[in-house]
Amino acid sequence: MAVSVRYIVNGEEKVTHELRRFAARAMEPEPILYLVADALRAIEKERFAREGPGWAELADSTIERKGSSKIGVETEAMMDSLTKKGAEGSLEEVLGNVLHFGTNLTDEEGFPYPVVFDEGTQDGTQPARPLFDVNEGMLRMFTKSIQSYLLGLRASPRKMGDSVPSMNSYAFGAF
């Protein structure tokens, strides 16, 4: 289905071509969704580097056991799955106009430890340390990038990931 308005100015159909390009881009959102995934990786990398914000400090017993006070990077597997494309457990899938992004890591017994990291334990022995922080500013940033893409302007993943604006995965519908 072609979206068009036909304006002929001095015999030239300028507007019609622009709307066709707009419609074509709207029908193929994959490129911008992959840029959104790149931005999400950058945001998560910053989140791990800053240990939050909002993450509870490790207990002294945990620091002693690990030999480090760095949160969430005992093996770096979970951090890598959210910050490195193609890392073990990394979830990045574009299905039509939806991006699924997150981690599906489990331990050797199949236990999804990112869920416990994100939500904490019911008995309170592990506090919740949300992996994602979805806020209005971040969603506006993605919306502006999608709008730029639709208009044929260049959307930069660096600009999209500049500001660090919770769940084990994001799902964004583009159109």
| Model pLDDT for residues 10-69, shown as the tens digit of each residue | 566 555 556 677 777 888 888 888 988 998 999 999 999 999 888 999 989 989 988 888
116 against 160, higher pLDDT: 116
Q: Which domain holds residue 133?
A: 14-173
What pTM was computed for the model?
A: 0.74
Burial class of residue 18 in the structure, from the number of CB atoms within 10 Å of its CB (0-12 exposed, 13-18 middle, 19+ buried): middle
- Residue 128: pLDDT band (50, 70, 90) is very high
Decide if pLDDT at 82 tops 90. yes
Residue 84 lies in a domain: yes
The whole-chain average pLDDT of the chain stands at: 78
162 against 23, higher pLDDT: 23
| Cβ within 8 Å of residue 171, ≥6 positions away | 98, 99, 100, 101
Residue 149 lies in a domain: yes
Residue 99 lies in a domain: yes
Number of domains in the chain: 1
**Secondary structure (3-state) at 93:** strand
Q: Which amino acid is at 82?
A: L
What average pLDDT does this structure show over 2-17?
56
Phi, psi of 9 (to 5 degrees): -120, 120
Residue 7 lies in a domain: no
- Residue 172: pLDDT band (50, 70, 90) is very low
Q: What is the pLDDT of residue 168?
A: 42
Q: Which amino acid is at 94?
A: V
Distance CA 169, CA 106 (A): 14
Decide: 89 and 101 in contact? Cβ < 8 Å: no
Q: What is the pLDDT of residue 150?
A: 82
| Cβ within 8 Å of residue 63, ≥6 positions away | 69
Residue 79 lies in a domain: yes
